[in-house]
Each structure stands twice: as C-alpha cells, then as structure tokens.
C-alpha cells in the first residue's frame, strides 16, 4: 500500500473516534473515565501533516465530539490548539521512535483539554470553584490516555506514515 | 415349715416396663404442652430437601408485585381525577416506553446515556427518564432512533423537587459527583437526613411525585441558604433498560 492510500485509511480511522467515545469500554477506563480518543488520533496526524492539517482535524473532531456530548462545554479550543502545537512540533523532529515522548504529549494534551472543560463547567455550577470531582476526572482522563497512547500512537505512526510516497 | 418365697420386697421402680411407659407418656405430654417443639424441628430438618424452590417464591413475589401495581394504578387514576377537579397540571395523559441503554457515560465530564428509541417512538425533549427506583434524568436531545439523557448527576442539571414529609420545596442541582446537591430556598428548612425527595407536584416540566432520592446529610452552614447531599435511588451505572415517560400535553 502506498503512503497516500495509508493516509486516506488513517483519515477513515478518524471516524472511529466518536464511536469509541460513545462505546467507552469499561476495561480501558479509570473508574468510569475513558481515554481521550480524539487526542490519541490527532497526535500522529498533526505530527506528520503539519499545523494547518492539525488545526483542521482538531476543528473537525471538536465539532463531532460536541455533537455527541451534552451541551454546555466544548472541546473545540483545546483540540485546535493541540492540532496546531503538535503540527509545529512534528516539523522539527521525528517522534515515531520515541514512545515515551508520545505518551507524555498525550498526557499533557488530555490534561490541558480536561482543564479547559473544567474551566467551562465552573461557570455553570454555582459557587463551586474547586471540586475534587473535576480534578479527579481531569487526572483520570490524562493518565488513562497517557498510558495507552505510547502503544497506539507508535503503532499508527509506524504503520500509516512510514514508507515511500 | 419352710417358706420357699424369697424375702425380697416388691420394688415397682425396678420394673423396666414402668420406666418405659413413664418416659413415653412424659415425652408425649412435653410435645403436647410445648405445641410440638421437638417434633416440628425434626420435621423441618427432614423436609428441608423438599421445601418449595425459588420458582414458587418468585410466583408469590410476582403476585405481590402485581397486586401493588394494580393498587398504584387505581391510586393514580384516583389522583388524576382529584387533580382534574382541583384544576392542577396533569401529566397522566402519558404513556411509557421502555428503551435500552446503548451508550453509558456516567462518570466523565458529560454524564449522559444514549437510548435506542427516539422521536419515532414519540420521545420528546424534556421527557422524564426513569430507572428502577426513580428518576434518572431528562431527555436532552432526540434523533429519529436515539435519544440522549442528561443525568441528574451531570453538572448544571436543575430540577424542582420537594420533600414530601415537610412539603419543603428545593432545587436539585447536579454537581458531577454521584450525589447531587439539594439547594433549599429558605434559611431553616424542615429537612433531615433520610427524607425522601420527589419531583414537585407543582412542577410544570416534570410529572409530579416521581421518587428521586434520599437526603444523606445537610450542611446548615452554607450561605445564603443551606444545602443537602442527596443519594439517588436509581443508579445509572448499573442500568441497562430505562422507562421514558412520554408526556402528550402541550408545553
């Protein structure tokens, strides 16, 4: 398979993100909080395709995820931001053989996007600025994503984005 | 003259048959006056393998359930009639539809369920969703074949409830944790832990008198008004089927 075909295949794989989010399998979750599948898909894509494609993919994923989540908070800004940042990072160096760095990037990305949702919920719930539940959810989402990301991101970088174009 | 008879006194207590009959008769009397104490215990031990199985027990439980259901139906009809006389809002022109949970996210930032029935089955936004035990949440969005439930625990979910015992009204607000918060509207509400919280009978959004939860603790120190922590009766984490109350009245 040529690299272009694999690229299309990876785009199609992006369709799995909302379904995985909906299924939220209980065996990959830290007491109910599953991985942030959008970030896990976005990282290899943005690293390889650059900031513009990263921002666009982040935008599309954000729109879809806001469609399947309850109203009130959006993941859109965080996904666009990370699409851009990871796109810029990818231009500078190759990440496909550094699984620890990939895991750390996902951990950081999930943590920050969780924080952005927390900030939005502060204004919805009256008078609660710090609650243990939000902090716990942010942390659990980050950790579980960071744990499976090295495996999934390294595999997809090696399979979809290596080879001759 | 020789007395051939042995010089032995007649001792009645040395007769075996005497002791036998004494023992037997006292045992019978014991059984008679203790209302069969030993006998029934022995019977229960011997008959244990032949006791009715769980199937028969289920029949009886089902019978009791059916009886209670019929009673509830009768009471609801009566209630409906009385509310009509009082010209109160009524939502008994409703029908229930049961739906399966096809996606469950009850712990994340978005606490929601997806159901496998939608507008094709007459579900509308704002319909009440009930699990075994009580209210679970409200329908947030509807597609043709699915509908999304905003759980009571989700942040910023607000419904009007009251405590039936003391007729105190309050607002149940989801804060993300398993236990939503009950914000009272007055300074010193007549509430205590263990009180049952149900939907308000004057609510315009929800069917009246649906059980919601039980008060666990009350924080009287909070300003401007105290709040209580409520344990929901229906737990969304273990529910595969729910009932949606379709309201046909105009909103």
Nearest to A57 by CA among A45, A40, A75: A45
Q: Which residue has the higher pLDDT, B53 or B28?
A: B28
How many residue pairs from chains A and B have C-beta atoms closer than 8 A? 63
How does DSSP assign B124-178, residue by residue? -TT-EEEETTEEEEEEEEE-SS-EEEEETTSTT-EEEEEETTTTEEEEEE--SSS
Closest CA to B159 of B168, B170, B149: B170
Nearest Cα of chain A lies from the Cα of B57 at a distance, in angstroms, of: 35
Domain positions in chain B are: 2-49, 52-90, 97-250
Q: Mean of the pLDDT values across residues B5-13?
A: 71
Phi, psi angles (nearest 5°) of residue A148: -95, -15
Q: Do B84 and B216 contact (CB within 8 A), yes or no? A: no
| Cβ contact, residue pair A137, B140, below 8 Å | no
Contact status, residue B126 vs residue B205, Cβ threshold 8 Å: yes
Q: What is the pLDDT of residues A13-50, one digit of tens each?
A: 888 888 888 888 888 888 788 899 999 999 999 988 88
Q: What is the pLDDT of residue A111?
A: 92
Question: What is the pLDDT averaged over residues B52-67?
Answer: 73
Residue A68 has pLDDT above 60, yes or no: yes
Rounded Cα gap, residues B98 and A114, in angstroms: 34
Which phi and psi angles does B175 have, rounded to 5°?
A: -120, 10
Among chain B residues, the shortest Cα distance to A20 is held by B103
Closest CA–CA distance from residue A93 to any residue of chain B (Å): 34
Q: Report the interhelical angle of A132-160 vs A37-49 (nearest 10°).
A: 40
Helix, strand, coil % in chain B, rounded to nearest 5: 30, 30, 40
Bond preceding residue B224 cis, omega within 30 of 0? yes
CB contact at 8 A, B78 and B72: no
Over the stretch B101-155, which tens digit does the pLDDT of each residue have? Answer: 888 888 888 888 888 888 888 888 888 898 888 888 999 888 888 888 999 988 8
Of A124-128, B2-6, B31-35, B74-78, which one has max mean pLDDT?
A: B74-78
pLDDT, residue B250, reads 44
Better-scored residue on pLDDT, B27 or B249: B27
pTM: 0.73
Closest residue in B to A70 (Cα) is: B110
Nearest CA-CA partner of B169 in B185, B153, B191, B150: B185
Chain A residues 57-86 with a CB less than 8 Å from chain B: 69-73
Cβ pair B106:A32 closer than 8 A: yes
Nearest C-alpha neighbor of B210 from the set B249, B186, B237, B244: B244
Partner-chain contact B176 A125, CB within 8 Å: yes
Q: What CATH class has B97-250?
A: mainly beta
Measured CA angle at B173 (ends B170, B178), to 5 deg: 125
Q: Which residues pair with B209 in a beta bridge?
A: none
pLDDT in tens, B198-218: 988 877 778 888 889 999 998
- Mean pLDDT within A101-121: 90
Q: Is the pLDDT of residue A1 over 80?
A: no
Identify the pLDDT of residue B251.
42
Unique residue bearing structure tokens 């290899």 = A44
- How high is the pLDDT of residue B80? 80
More confident residue, B40 or B166: B166
Q: What's the pLDDT tens digit per position in B149-197?
A: 999 988 878 888 988 888 888 999 888 888 888 988 888 888 888 888 9
Confidence of residue A108 (pLDDT cuts 50, 70, 90): very high
Which chain B residue shows the shortest CA-CA distance from A67?
A: B141
Check residue B3 and give its pLDDT. 66
List pLDDT tens digits, range B226-237. Answer: 889 999 888 888
Q: Nearest CA of chain B to the CA of A163: how many Å? A: 38
Residue A153 has pLDDT above 50, yes or no: yes
Region of B190 (left: φ > 0; alpha: ψ -120 to 50; beta: rest) is beta
State which H helix or E strand residue A44 sits in: helix A37-49
The reported pLDDT for the residue numbered A113 is: 92
């Amino acid at each position: 398979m040529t690299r272009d075909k694999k690229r299309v295949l990876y785009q199609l794989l992006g369709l799995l993100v909302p379904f995985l989010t909906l299924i939220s399998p209980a065996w990959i979750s830290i007491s109910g909080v599953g991985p942030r599948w959008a970030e896990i898909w976005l990282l290899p894509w943005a690293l390889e395709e650059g900031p513009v494609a990263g921002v666009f993919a982040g935008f599309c994923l954000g729109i879809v995820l806001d469609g399947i989540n309850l109203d009130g908070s959006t993941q859109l800004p965080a996904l666009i931001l990370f699409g851009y940042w990871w796109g810029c990072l990818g231009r500078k160096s190759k990440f496909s053989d550094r699984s620890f760095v990939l895991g750390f990037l996902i951990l950081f990305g999930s943590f920050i996007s969780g924080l952005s949702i927390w900030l939005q919920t502060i204004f919805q719930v009256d008078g609660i600025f710090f609650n243990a539940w939000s902090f716990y959810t942010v942390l659990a989402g980050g950790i579980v994503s960071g744990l499976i990301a090295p495996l999934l991101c390294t595999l997809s970088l090696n399979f979809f984005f290596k080879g001759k174009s | 003259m020789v007395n051939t008879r042995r010089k032995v006194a007649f001792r009645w207590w040395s007769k075996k048959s005497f002791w036998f009959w004494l023992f037997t008769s006292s045992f019978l009397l014991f059984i008679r006056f203790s209302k069969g104490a030993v006998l029934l215990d022995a019977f229960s031990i011997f008959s244990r393998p032949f006791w009715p199985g769980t199937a028969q027990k289920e029949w009886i439980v089902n019978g009791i359930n059916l009886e209670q259901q019929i009673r509830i139906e009768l009471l609801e009809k009566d209630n409906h009639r009385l509310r009509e006389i009082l010209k109160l809002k009524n939502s008994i022109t409703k029908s229930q539809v049961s739906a399966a949970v096809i996606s469950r996210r009850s712990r994340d930032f978005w606490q929601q369920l997806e159901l496998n029935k939608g507008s094709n089955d007459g579900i509308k936004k704002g319909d009440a969703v009930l699990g075994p035990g009580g209210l679970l949440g409200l329908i947030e969005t509807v597609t043709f074949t699915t509908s999304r439930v905003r759980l009571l625990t989700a942040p910023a979910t607000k419904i009007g409830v009251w405590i039936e015992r003391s007729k105190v009204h309050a607002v149940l607000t989801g804060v993300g944790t398993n236990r939503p918060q009950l914000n009272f509207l007055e300074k010193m509400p007549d509430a205590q832990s263990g009180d049952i919280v149900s939907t308000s009978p004057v609510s315009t959004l929800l069917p009246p008198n649906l059980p919601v939860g039980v008060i666990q603790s009350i924080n009287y120190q909070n300003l401007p008004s105290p709040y209580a922590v409520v344990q929901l009766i229906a737990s969304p984490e273990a529910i595969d089927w729910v009932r949606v109350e379709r309201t046909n009245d105009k909103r």
